[in-house]
Chain A
Amino acid sequence: MLRVVSTKDDLGRLGEQLAADHLMRLGWRILDRNWRCPAGEIDIVALDDGELVVVEVKTRRSRAFGDPLEGVTDAKLTRLCVLAGAWRRAHPAVRFATSRIDLVGVLVPVRAPASIDHLRAAA
Chain B
Amino acid sequence: MIGTPGRATAVALLGLTGRLVDIEAALTNQKPGLKLVGLPDAALREAQVRVRSAIEHSGFEMPSRHLTVNLSPAALPKHGSAFDLGIAVAVLVTQGVIAPAAVDGVVHLGELGLDGRLRPVPGVLPSVLAARANGRRTVVVPTANEAEASLVSGVRVVAVPSLRELAIAHGAELESVPVEPVPDRAVAAGEPPAPELAEVVGNPEAVEAMLVAAAGAHHVLLVGPPGAGKTMLAARLPGLLPDLDESAALEATCVASLAGEAVPGGLRRRPPWQAPHHTATAAAIVGGGSSWIRPGAAARASGGVLFLDEAPEFSAAALDALRQPLESGEITVERAAVTARFPGRFQLVMAANPCPCGQFGSVDGACTCPAASRRRYLDRLSGPLLDRVDIRLRVDRVSAAQLRLRDERPGLDTASARARVLAARERAVARLTGTPWRVNGEVPGPWWRAGDRRLPPDVRQPLDLALERGTLTMRGYDRTLRLAWTVADLAGVVRPGRRELGTALTLRGAVR
Contact = CB atoms under 8 A, between A and B. Distances in A.
B435 interface: no
A113 interface: no
Interface in A106-123: 117, 119-122
Contact of B32 (A69, A77, A120, A121): A69
B31 interface: yes
B33 interface: yes
B29 A119 contact: yes
Interface-central residue, B29, B30, B65, by most chain A CB under 10 Å: B30
Given A63-B61, A105-B64, A117-B64, A70 B30 contact: no
Nearest to A58: B31
B33 A70 contact: yes
Nearest to A69: B31
A68 to B, nearest CB: 8
B62 interface: yes
Contact of A103 (B31, B33, B61, B62): B31
Interface residues of A, number: 14
A70 B29 CA distance: 13
A92 interface: no
Contacts of A117: 64
Interface string B26-64: 000111110000000000000000000000000001101
Contacts of B33: 70
Interface of B is mostly: loop
A5 interface: no
A82 interface: no
A72 B29 contact: no
A48 interface: no
Contacts of A121: 29
Interface in A65-123: 66-67, 69-70, 72, 77, 103, 105, 117, 119-122
B395 to A, nearest CB: 69
A114 to B, nearest CB: 15
A100 to B, nearest CB: 12
Contacts of A103: 31
B463 to A, nearest CB: 80
Interface in B44-101: 61-62, 64-65
B31 A120 contact: no
A48 B30 CA distance: 19
A121 B30 CA distance: 8
B31 A72 contact: yes
Nearest to B61: A63
B30 to A, nearest CB: 7
Nearest to B33: A70
Contacts of A105: 64
A122 B62 CA distance: 19
Interface in B3-33: 29-33
Contacts of A70: 31-33
A72 B33 CA distance: 11
Interface in A24-75: 63, 66-67, 69-70, 72
A47 B62 CA distance: 31
B383 to A, nearest CB: 62
A17 B62 CA distance: 27
A120 B29 contact: yes
B55 to A, nearest CB: 12
Contact of B64 (A67, A120, A122): A67
Given A67-B64, A119-B30, 7 more contacts: A67-B32, A69-B32, A70-B32, A70-B33, A72-B31, A77-B31, A119-B29
5 contacts: A63-B61, A69-B31, A72-B31, A119-B65, A121-B29
Name the 3 nearest CB pairs between A and B, nearest first: A67-B32, A67-B64, A69-B31
